[in-house]
């Protein structure tokens, strides 16, 4: 697709040379990160045409699309702020470029908080406004994807997560090359991906955050039978020590 035409969807934009460059960097990080997250249920909310969970070891994976015409095979269509999913049932959720195009991103985050288990993992991928991509958004066509989105800064995203009780556990910035339309020019500027993290690390075009859902003021309670077993072991050990002391005393008397 020619990037000079307006893409009809974000997936269409990811088919352009610049979109392919961005998606490649994001997929590479996800392929390294998701295999280390374990559980029973994983969700990908948005961008249903691309399997961002392809390297995940979680067996039950589901892609959710907010648009009926883009429903993935075996996937689900639903409003992202009203998911037909049980409370505290999801171990891993991925939001790829969802919040910057949502009418109310807070509603979506609150819904994610509802469905995730304690210590569950949330991965958010977003465009960084403090980057060349953010500058391109300010100077380019405001009505064309993805530049018509409301890019959320990294600090603000961390504040939103903190208010919901999520702790950021890991993160990565990528796409330091200027957002050029030409694949040739993107390759020429590709060296910035190797040096950008060292010299101007906060200016990557996209950020990827991994956050953990914390439940404050809770502790793990061991079963009563386990506590009784421990008490019996201590009692038996005390009896053995007492018997040994008695035997030693009788030997000395003899």
Q: In terms of C-beta distances under 8 Å and separation of at least 24 residues, what long-range contacts does 60-64 make, across chains too? A: none
Return all residues near 142 (Cβ < 8 A) that are at least 6 apart: 148
Q: What is the pLDDT of residue 1?
A: 46
DSSP string, 212-246: EE--TT--PPPPHHHHHHHHHHHHHHHHHHHHHHH
Which of the four pLDDT bands, split at 50, 70 and 90, describes residue 9? confident
Strand partners, 61: 42
Residue 14 — φ and ψ, nearest 5°? -70, -10
Quote the CA–CA distance of 66 and 76 in Å, as a whole number.
Answer: 9
pLDDT tens digits, one per residue of 40-79? 999 999 999 999 999 999 999 999 998 765 667 768 899 9
Tokens at 217, concatenated: 């003021």
Quote the CA–CA distance of 67 and 112 in Å, as a whole number.
Answer: 18
pLDDT at 3 over 90: no
pTM of the model: 0.80
In angstroms, the Cα distances linking 87 to 83, 120, 160 are 10, 12, 20
**Residue matched to tokens 């037909």:** 84
pLDDT tens digits, one per residue of 89-119? 999 999 999 999 999 999 999 999 999 999 9
């Amino acid at each position: 697709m020619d990037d000079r035409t307006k893409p009809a969807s974000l997936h269409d934009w990811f088919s352009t040379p610049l979109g392919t460059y961005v998606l490649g960097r994001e997929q590479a990080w996800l392929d390294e990160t998701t295999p280390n997250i374990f559980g029973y249920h994983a969700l990908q909310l948005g961008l249903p045409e691309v399997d961002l969970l392809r390297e995940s070891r979680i067996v039950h994976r589901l892609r959710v699309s907010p648009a009926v015409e883009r429903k993935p095979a075996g996937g689900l269509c639903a409003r992202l702020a009203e998911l037909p999913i049980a409370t505290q049932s999801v171990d891993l959720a991925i939001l790829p470029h969802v919040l910057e195009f949502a009418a109310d991103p807070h509603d979506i985050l609150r819904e994610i908080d509802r469905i995730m288990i304690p210590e569950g993992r949330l991965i958010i991928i977003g465009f960084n406004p403090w980057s060349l991509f953010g500058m391109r958004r300010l100077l380019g066509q405001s009505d064309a994807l993805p530049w018509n989105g409301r890019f959320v800064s990294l600090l603000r995203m961390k504040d939103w997560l903190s208010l919901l009780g999520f702790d950021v556990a890991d993160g990565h910035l990528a796409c330091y090359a200027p957002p050029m339309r030409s694949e040739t020019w993107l390759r020429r500027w590709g060296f910035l991906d190797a040096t950008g993290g060292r010299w101007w690390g906060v200016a990557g075009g996209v950020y990827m955050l991994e956050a953990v859902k914390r439940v404050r003021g809770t502790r793990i309670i061991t079963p009563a039978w386990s506590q009784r077993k421990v008490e019996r072991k201590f009692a038996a050990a005390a009896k053995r020590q007492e018997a040994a002391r008695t035997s030693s005393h009788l030997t000395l008397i003899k």
